[in-house]
Amino acid sequence: MSDIIRLLPDHVANQIAAGEVVQRPASVVKELVENSVDAGATEIKLVLKEAGKTLIQVIDNGKGMTDTDARMAFERHATSKITSAEDLFALQTKGFRGEALASIAAIAHVELKTRTEAAEFGTHIVIEGTKLISQEMTVVPIGTSFSVKNLFFNIPARRNFLKSTNVEFRNIVDEFERIALVHCNIHFIMIHNGNEVYNLPSTNLRQRIVNVFGSRTNEKLVPIKESTEIVEVSGFVGKPEFAKKSRGEQFFFVNDRFVKSGYLHHAVIAAFEGLLKESTHPTYFIYLKVPTNSIDINIHPTKTEVKFDDEQALYSILRSTIKHSLGQFNVAPVLDFQRDSSFDTPYNYEGTEASTPTIEVDRNFNPFSREEVISSDKFEYNPFENPFLNTEQKEEEPAIIESKLTNLPHENEEVEFVDVDTGEIILESKHFNSGSRIEEEERASTFESKVNSDWSNPQPYKDFSPSVKQSPSSKSNSFTRKSDFSKASGQDWNNLYEGLHDLGQDLDVSNLQFESEVVESTLFTKDQAGGTNSRTFQINRKYIVSPIKSGLVVIDQGRAHQRILYEKFMQDITDHRASTQQLLFPLTLYYAPYEVVILKELQELLKQTGFGFESLGSDHVVISGLPVNVAESEASIVLEDLITDFQEGIPNTKFSQSDRIAKSLAYSLAVKTGVTLTEEEQENIVNTLFGCKEPDVSPFKKPTFITMKVEDIEKRFSL
């Protein structure tokens, strides 16, 4: 048997290695920019065309390379950053494998220009698919310039699997941000298709974060800082109220290197426990400094996975640090016994001392004195006062009733009473037994209760004319007093209840009439009883049920509304007939620079759906008009969802931009599960859905309705 194992050619081996190192244009950007950082550059410029598919150029003012180093840099496992295996555990640079440039040169057209400070001339090298095309001297500034063109030109399958321009651009932005956020002393510039996306001058960390993610980010940040023998923690976390539905703004850096760690992420989430809304994620920019010999970053070629010596200790320290910062800055409740007592004092009381409250007591007040209780001077309202008379007339009007004890009727005395229903003054002669002070008080109490009772059930105002008539002794509405009650004394309260069982026995209720209307209730409402006019009803605030000739149709209200809105937006884009509601005051929305770039690319198509843009700045957009079915409060959410969809390649990238915009807007604006719809809204969705071109599926190819035939229903009942 002949030997079959042989060495692969270098260009084949490089292509295989490139498949692991260079997965997309963002991988090239990462390797080239990190090389510039390792070269000590203070200014790095990144130029892109078509999200790196056509051109990736990185220009820096670093140390540069000699002509020999420039050629050696494209050989496999050639590097200047380590010399022995022990150096892997004391790394101070981004790269160390020596594979990146060789892998890039194997699958693209690469052009290198470089010069050191000591050299008078620089070096210009051109390589295409591992083949050296030319190497010559040239005049260039100090530093290095890499140009990578036609990525994956010799691997068509890999090139065909690249995502859309927006998705690949978002991946590049991610890599660019990860490097820019950890090297605040370097001036970074990014240009895409001739447009400047980022211009980040050298600054401090907080300002760098604000420059990258927009000016609105500053108010969201809470600083964190802790120093121990194991780790130094610094950075910022976002306030819980600004948590987002996506995980875009979450960064871990270990020794100035971006890493991914689900374990440490769990520590952050644990620190925010009880502070986040459901399905939201906190923002954080966390920087860890650990001894280089306590971590291993040689796990994966991307160098984003690391292993720590003591993960549990890091977990506890990180969690407690974040919780302490959230409490210290009043983001979360915390007990702080050293806090200044005047910290929460309102400004208008600042500087004043708290005084002991005082209580004023009327020592002459006797709660058992009936004179104090029923005196007419104490009443706030007078039921016998005419509110329509002016002040002078009120002063001339004689008092009708005095409720003081001294004015109570005595034995064999005529008494004036007022008929509350008619307003007439009635003279009635009554015989009153002379009694004790207590008996007079009780008579006054009975009189007072009658007045209060009538006042609590006020009658329409009547003019109390001064007409007087003699009342018969049987007048029911005069203030008569039962002898049983007048005999009661303060020492024998049981006598008050004598005779109560006889009350109401002589009452004639044969002619009793009710003023309220008799209501006859049924199990069903008027519309439901015997043939209803409503043809739809809602189930679980998610489905709409409507009868059809063959049985019933059950419609998913969200998917149906998506189909309706999708076809409307597509028709508006095609016919250029979208209606716009102009805003009285322009609406300004703030976004990250890369998000504004996406909106600029979609601006013309968005105008065809009804959006009106007054201007688009570097980190904000000014909107002057909105589609008729978009409220001003929803504009920010709709555009954020649209940007996210184009960043993540949702909907499917095989469709046109107009189709993807229509799908994204339809998904954002469609009615959601849990919304109660009126009968009119339900019928409108049903009728409009079946007027669509494809009513049976949503824009995302999910069924919008199902039918239940009468035969199927009868089979279920026949079991």
Per residue in 74-101, pLDDT (tens digit) is 887 777 666 666 666 666 666 666 678 8
Report the C-alpha gap between 478 and 483 in whole angstroms.
Answer: 15
Whether residues 581 and 667 fall in one domain: yes
- pLDDT of residue 7 exceeding 70, the answer is yes
Classify strands 425-430 and 468-470 as parallel, antiparallel or unpaired: parallel
pLDDT at 188: 96
Residue 148 within any structural domain of the chain: yes
pLDDT at 74: 86
Whether residues 547 and 693 fall in one domain: yes
- pLDDT of residue 417 exceeding 70, the answer is no
- pLDDT of residue 175 exceeding 80, the answer is yes
pLDDT at 619: 81
Report the C-alpha gap between 209 and 200 in whole angstroms.
Answer: 10
pLDDT at 406: 45
> Which region among 118-127, 171-180, 494-503, 623-632 has the lowest average model confidence (pLDDT)?
494-503
- pLDDT of residue 383 exceeding 70, the answer is no
Which domain CATH number covers 77? 3.30.565.10
Residue written as token pair 């004092």: 345
483 or 237, greater pLDDT: 237
- pLDDT of residue 562 exceeding 90, the answer is yes
Whether residues 26 and 174 fall in one domain: yes
> Which region among 223-227, 494-498, 582-586 has the lowest average model confidence (pLDDT)?
494-498
Of 182, 200, 218, the position where a domain reaches its end is 200
- pLDDT of residue 431 exceeding 80, the answer is no
- At 225, is the pLDDT very low, low, confident or very high (cuts 50, 70, 90)? very high
How buried is residue 268: exposed, middle or buried, by Cβ count under 10 Å (0-12/13-18/19+)? buried
Residue 289 within any structural domain of the chain: yes
Nearest to 387, CA basis, from 460, 447, 457, 449:
460
Phi/psi at 45 (5° precision): -120, 130
Whether residues 545 and 674 fall in one domain: yes
Average pLDDT over residues 135-152: 93
Residue 481 within any structural domain of the chain: no
pLDDT at 465: 44
Residue 628 within any structural domain of the chain: yes
Report the C-alpha gap between 129 and 332 in whole angstroms.
Answer: 57
Q: Give me 167's structure tokens.
A: 């998705």
Whether residues 645 and 687 fall in one domain: yes
pLDDT at 137: 93
With beta carbons less than 8 A apart as the criterion, state whether 647 and 592 touch.
no
Whether residues 62 and 142 fall in one domain: yes
Whether residues 21 and 157 fall in one domain: yes
Give pTM, 2 decimals.
0.60
Residue 452 within any structural domain of the chain: yes
- pLDDT of residue 436 exceeding 60, the answer is no
Q: How many helices (DSSP H) and strands (DSSP E) are in the chain? A: 19, 25
- pLDDT of residue 335 exceeding 80, the answer is no
Cβ neighbours of residue 628 closer than 8 Å, sequence gap 6 or more? 579, 580, 581, 610
Q: Which of 122-131, 275-284, 378-387, 529-538 has the highest mean pLDDT?
A: 122-131
- 154: amino acid identity, one letter: N
- At 369, is the pLDDT very low, low, confident or very high (cuts 50, 70, 90)? low
- pLDDT of residue 581 exceeding 70, the answer is yes
Which domain CATH number covers 602? 3.30.1370.100
Whether residues 293 and 399 fall in one domain: no
Cβ neighbours of residue 94 closer than 8 Å, sequence gap 6 or more? 34, 35, 37, 38, 257, 303
pLDDT at 41: 94
- pLDDT of residue 30 exceeding 80, the answer is yes
- pLDDT of residue 203 exceeding 80, the answer is yes
Cross-strand partners of 224: 235
pLDDT at 243: 84
- At 513, is the pLDDT very low, low, confident or very high (cuts 50, 70, 90)? low
Average pLDDT over residues 527-543: 69
Whether residues 269 and 187 fall in one domain: no
253 or 593, greater pLDDT: 253
Of 283, 312, 328, the position where a domain reaches its end is 328
> Which region among 428-442, 463-477, 628-642 has the lowest average model confidence (pLDDT)?
463-477
Residue 468 within any structural domain of the chain: no
pLDDT at 704: 94
pLDDT at 553: 92
Which domain CATH number covers 210? 3.30.230.10
Q: Give me 4's structure tokens.
A: 């079959």
Number of domains in the chain: 4
Of 200, 217, 241, the position where a domain reaches its end is 200
Tens digits of per-residue pLDDT, 629-677?
888 888 888 888 888 877 765 544 456 788 888 998 999 899 988 889 9
Average pLDDT over residues 111-139: 92
Residue written as token pair 């058992």: 368
Report the C-alpha gap between 96 and 416 in whole angstroms.
Answer: 113
> Which region among 139-143, 201-205, 415-419 has the lowest average model confidence (pLDDT)?
415-419
pLDDT at 96: 61
With beta carbons less than 8 A apart as the criterion, state whether 673 and 520 touch.
no
With beta carbons less than 8 A apart as the criterion, state whether 589 and 633 touch.
no
Question: How far lies 346's CA from each of 322, 349, 351, 353, 584, in Å?
Answer: 28, 6, 10, 12, 37
> Which region among 150-159, 172-181, 304-313, 627-636 has the lowest average model confidence (pLDDT)?
304-313
- pLDDT of residue 70 exceeding 50, the answer is yes
pLDDT at 374: 47
**Strand ranges, E, within 213-276:** 221-227, 232-238, 250-254, 257-259
- pLDDT of residue 520 exceeding 70, the answer is no
What is the domain range of residue 282? 205-328
Average pLDDT over residues 322-327: 90
- pLDDT of residue 493 exceeding 60, the answer is no
pLDDT at 482: 44
- At 492, is the pLDDT very low, low, confident or very high (cuts 50, 70, 90)? low
Whether residues 564 and 636 fall in one domain: yes
Average pLDDT over residues 618-633: 88
Q: Give me 673's structure tokens.
A: 């599960």
Mean residue pLDDT of the chain comes to 76
Report the C-alpha gap between 512 and 236 in whole angstroms.
Answer: 79
CA 647 to chain centre: 21
pLDDT at 422: 52
- 56: amino acid identity, one letter: I
How buried is residue 590: exposed, middle or buried, by Cβ count under 10 Å (0-12/13-18/19+)? middle
Whether residues 587 and 618 fall in one domain: yes
* 642 sits in which H/E element: helix 635-648
pLDDT at 181: 95
702 or 579, greater pLDDT: 702
Residue 345 within any structural domain of the chain: no
Report the C-alpha gap between 534 and 508 in whole angstroms.
Answer: 50
Let me know how long the chain is.
719
- pLDDT of residue 332 exceeding 80, the answer is no
**Percentage of residues of the chain with pLDDT beyond 90:** 31
**Percentage of residues of the chain with pLDDT beyond 70:** 65
In degrees to the nearest 10, what's the CA dihedral of 124, 129, 130, 133? -40
Residue 70 within any structural domain of the chain: yes
> Which region among 40-54, 500-514, 555-569, 702-716 has the lowest average model confidence (pLDDT)?
500-514
pLDDT at 501: 60
Tens digits of per-residue pLDDT, 99-124?
788 889 888 999 999 999 999 999 99
Whether residues 22 and 165 fall in one domain: yes
Report the C-alpha gap between 141 and 135 in whole angstroms.
Answer: 17
Dihedral sign computed on CA atoms, order 450, 370, 398, 473 = positive
